[in-house]
Amino acid sequence: MLILIDTINNTTADSIFELISFAEMLAGTEQSRIRVIIAGENVADISRKAARFGHDVIALEHPDLRFPNPDFFADEAIRLVDEIKPRYVIIQHTMRGCQIASRISAAGGFPCITGVESFIHDGDSVVFCKSIINGKITVGLVPGGERAAFTVLPGAFRVPDITAGHRVPGQVLHRTPAGGPSHCRPLGIRESAGGEVRLEESDVIIAAGRGIGTKENLDLIRAVARLFPNAAVGASRTVVDQKWLPYAHQIGVTGRTVAPKLYMACGISGAQQHIAGMKGSQTVVAVNKDPHAAIFSIADYIIVEDLTVFLPLLIEKHAKKR
């Protein structure tokens, strides 16, 4: 198996090593060699870190890989697939992860499944499960043929615990992409506007979803946040797309990943993309008028109520108690 990891400025979050658990569990008892490919400009440090998990690492280094360059990375990965002939190619589920996985699968003529959350062995085949239709439905897919590429949803697996059991560190090999110059020129990265919001440092996050209905109802969310000593306002994709809040407030696969003491989801339906960004929260309270909202499946406390009715009552009752 091949695990592909890209970096930004030669670093990546440690949660990327969840992919190693996925690969090890997929291998099961079968003897299967796992190799980790890390792309960047100079990725010696992160490669050594990755090797501690006990698998060999190929540090793929080129100046054009300092910032994500999915086509360029994929083209070298295609050469690696040809050389190593892996059964599976595993990538983290991000939009560029899907781009890399698609490009490799197109070149090799094998299937690609994105946003994988779990898998089950079913006789000789493995069924890969993913959400469709905003998390309302789960499908099991079996890839045909000898090879397949996946993107794995962040948070679906845990980083292996290297303190448990003996892992002999793998070797780190350095490699330079063989291809010509990159077609795309990555110029750099920057924080999107509103980057001053410190969601990660807040004990409490009050998050607003599509169910808030109007921008004005954000005042209710803010008022609830003010009840707590260290609270911030979060949002689902829909809310930031409406420009009701800056993108820095967004929680989910394409936004922030948070793990506060309390996460209160108000009018959030609970698409997997959102849940992946907040499932580590200690206590989750969900308020939604739809009794079938997917968010309820991960909530500790469930309130089926219209938030425009419920939140004002919550604020009022709190004022009386003080």
Partner 1 sequence: MKILVCLKQVPDPEANIEIDSTRGWICESDGIAYRMNLYDEYALEEAVLIRESLGDASVDVISVGSERAAAVLKKGIEKGATNGIHIILDRDRYRSPGLIARLIADYARDRGYDLILAGVMAEDDMQCQVGPLIASYLGLPCAVSVVREKIGDNRSEIDVDCELEGGVNETLILPLPCLLTIQSGINRPRYPSLSNVLRAKEQALTMLSAGTVLSGQVETVVSICYPESAVKGTIIKGTPEQKAEKLLDILHEKSLL
Within 171-230, which residues bind partner 1 (CB under 8 A)? 183-192, 194-195, 203-204, 227-228
Strand partners, 38: 5, 59
Q: Which residues contact 110 (CB under 8 A, 6 or more apart)?
A: 143, 145, 146, 147, 148, 149
The neighbour count for residue 8, using CB atoms within 10 Å, is 14
Query: Rule CB under 8 A: is residue 94 a binding residue for partner 1?
Result: yes
H/E segment holding residue 74: helix 70-84
Query: Rule CB under 8 A: is residue 123 a binding residue for partner 1?
Result: no
List the interface residues with partner 1, window 131-150 (CB under 8 A): 131-145, 148
What would you report as the CA-atom Rg of the chain, rounded to the nearest whole angstrom? Answer: 22
Q: Which CB atom, from 173 or from 309, has the smaller least distance to partner 1?
A: 309
Rounded Cα distance, 68 and 94, in Å: 12
Of the ranges 47-55, 81-89, 98-106, 156-164, which one interacts with partner 1 (CB under 8 A)?
A: 98-106
At closest approach, how far in Å is the CB of 157 from partner 1?
17
At closest approach, how far in Å is the CB of 123 from partner 1?
11
**Residue 282: strand, helix, or coil:** coil
At closest approach, how far in Å is the CB of 120 from partner 1?
9
Query: Rule CB under 8 A: is residue 103 a binding residue for partner 1?
Result: yes
The neighbour count for residue 70, using CB atoms within 10 Å, is 23
Contact 9, 145 (CB under 8 A): no
Half-sphere exposure at residue 108, Cβ-oriented, CA atoms within 13 angstroms: 31
Q: Which of 53, 73, 110, 119 binds partner 1 (CB under 8 A)?
A: 110
Give the number of residues in contact with partner 1, rule: CB under 8 A. 100
Q: Which CB atom, from 174 or from 292, has the smaller least distance to partner 1?
A: 292
List the interface residues with partner 1, window 21-60 (CB under 8 A): none
Question: Pairing state of beta strands 56-61 and 35-40?
Answer: parallel
At closest approach, how far in Å is the CB of 36 from partner 1?
20
Q: Which of 162, 175, 254, 279 binds partner 1 (CB under 8 A)?
A: 254
